[in-house]
């Protein structure tokens, strides 16, 4: 080794671009242990003792068996103009949709729909038409709409107008950032090759590599289990709440998805910066002869590399944990698919989804405020009826009708029977024809 080179590299390590560090420092190679020779035997080994029955293993969680959304094999594969179908990630819920109906699972036990019964989606094909419709509801609200609902809609309309006016600037910024992202991605391709070579040329023991891979898989599985438990509980709790709260949370999810797309170029840039940090960490670890750590960093690098252009909105988070209902579409996950035109299209769709969610929340707000007003009115009527009942009843009791005076008895008769009329008897009818003793 050249003395100047040794001065700059006292450890004797050489980068993956040249040299075999194992030949320079054979003591640092950590070779696999030689397998012990089997003992000589002339008899068949005894049969293993039967395993005593024990408790059945606990059933695995539903998302434990779910494979999730598979990342692309190459996030920057070279296709001149990939179609929408080619840009769509494989849907892990595809088979579920063929055998299950999501219509009854849109809500929770109360089966809340997106809007109150008999209410239609917001009219209008374009964002401008939809905002104009909302403006009409604010400037000339229907007579049966509570004032608080109109006030909240006015605030939403102001925010949506700002987002709509800023769409062009967001697209322009993405177009500018994308050129920088492509440049950084080209550097990351070289880092990918170099970091793998750094591990492969310094750790040749398959047992070591297998242990590192198993440890990585175990930690990833724990992370996935924890995150999917959160996602499932998030929607379980939401579906237990009333329809107004569910609508508010759907609005919050749509807002989160839109904000994610607004800063999509920053997300991509941050991930590329993470690859840079991982690669520099690997170089520093190699300088310190920590080659096992280098191989662990290779797995971390591969994970970030494969998800560089993945958009983890709420649809992705649900489907990655096989929470398939309600249906939704995943977004592209490769750089060639994130063209400026496709970004503009997806950003517009996300803003429309936010407008729709805010309008649906407004409809539920009108419904619940009206029902609450009716409830308050009925409660007031109940209290009033209970308070006034006794006094008014007693006042009305005093107005009860009296019984009519009894009719006077008829006066005694003054008519005398004619003279000569024999008294009535049991044997004489008074006709004069009967004689005494007959």
- Taking the whole predicted model, whether its pTM rises above 0.85 is answered as no
207 versus 54: the higher-pLDDT residue is: 207
**CA-to-CA distance for 239 and 157, rounded, in angstroms?**
27
CB 170 within 8 A of CB 162: no
96: number of Cβ within 10 Å: 15
Q: Is it true that the peptide bond before 318 is cis, omega within 30 degrees of 0? A: no
pLDDT given at position 78: 66
- Degrees (nearest 5) of the Cα angle 20, 23, 28? 100
Computed on alpha carbons and rounded to an integer, the radius of gyration of the chain in Å comes to: 44
102: number of Cβ within 10 Å: 13
202: number of Cβ within 10 Å: 24
**CA-to-CA distance for 325 and 96, rounded, in angstroms?**
10
pLDDT given at position 103: 72
pLDDT given at position 317: 96
413 versus 276: the higher-pLDDT residue is: 276
- pLDDT band (50, 70, 90) for residue 407: confident
> Where are the domains positioned within the chain?
87-116+125-380
263: number of Cβ within 10 Å: 14
From first CA to last CA, the distance across the chain in angstroms is 176
Q: Any idea of the CA torsion for 411, 412, 416, 417, to the nearest 10 degrees?
A: 110
DSSP for 367-378 reads HHHHHHHHHHHH
Mapped onto helix, strand or coil, the DSSP state of residue 140 is: coil
Mean pLDDT for 267-277 is 97
26: which DSSP letter? G
């Amino acid at each position: 080794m050249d003395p100047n080179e040794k001065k700059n590299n006292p450890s004797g390590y050489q980068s993956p671009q040249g040299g075999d560090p194992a030949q320079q420092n054979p003591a640092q190679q950590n070779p696999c242990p030689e397998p012990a020779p089997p003992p000589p035997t002339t008899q068949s080994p005894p049969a293993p003792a039967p395993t005593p029955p024990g408790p059945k293993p606990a059933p695995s969680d539903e998302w434990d068996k779910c494979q999730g959304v598979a990342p692309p094999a190459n996030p920057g594969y070279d296709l001149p103009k990939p179609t929408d179908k080619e840009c769509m990630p494989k849907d892990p819920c595809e088979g579920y949709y063929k055998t299950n109906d999501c219509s009854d699972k849109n809500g929770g036990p109360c089966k809340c729909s997106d809007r109150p019964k008999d209410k239609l989606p917001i009219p209008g094909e374009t964002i401008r038409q939809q905002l104009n419709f909302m403006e009409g509801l604010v400037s000339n609200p229907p007579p049966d709409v509570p004032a608080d609902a109109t006030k909240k809609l006015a605030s939403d309309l102001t925010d949506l107008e700002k987002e709509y006016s800023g769409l062009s600037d967001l697209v322009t910024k993405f177009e500018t950032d994308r050129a920088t992202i492509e440049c950084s991605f080209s550097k990351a391709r070289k880092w990918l090759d170099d970091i793998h070579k750094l591990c492969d040329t310094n750790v040749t023991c398959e047992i070591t590599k297998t242990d590192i891979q198993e440890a990585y898989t175990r930690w990833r599985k724990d992370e996935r289990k924890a995150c999917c438990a959160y996602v499932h509980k998030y929607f379980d709790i939401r579906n237990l709440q009333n329809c107004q709260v569910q609508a508010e949370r759907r609005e919050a999810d749509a807002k989160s998805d839109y904000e994610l797309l607004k800063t999509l170029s920053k997300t991509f840039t941050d991930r590329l910066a993470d690859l840079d940090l991982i690669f520099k960490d690997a170089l520093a670890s190699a300088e310190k002869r920590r080659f096992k750590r280098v191989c662990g960093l290779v797995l971390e690098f591969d994970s970030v590399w494969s998800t560089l252009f993945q958009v983890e909105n709420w649809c992705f988070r649900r489907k990655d944990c096989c929470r398939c209902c309600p249906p939704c579409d995943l977004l592209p996950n490769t750089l060639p698919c994130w063209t400026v035109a496709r970004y503009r299209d997806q950003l517009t769709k996300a803003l429309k989804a936010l407008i729709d969610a805010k309008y649906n929340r407004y409809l539920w707000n009108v419904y619940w405020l009206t029902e609450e007003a009716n409830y308050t009115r009925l409660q007031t009527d109940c209290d009033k009826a209970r308070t006034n009942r006794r006094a008014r009843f007693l006042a009305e009791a005093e107005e009860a009708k009296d019984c009519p005076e009894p009719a006077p008895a008829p006066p005694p008769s003054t008519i005398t029977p004619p003279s000569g009329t024999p008294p009535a008897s049991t044997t004489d009818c008074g006709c004069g024809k009967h004689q005494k003793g007959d």
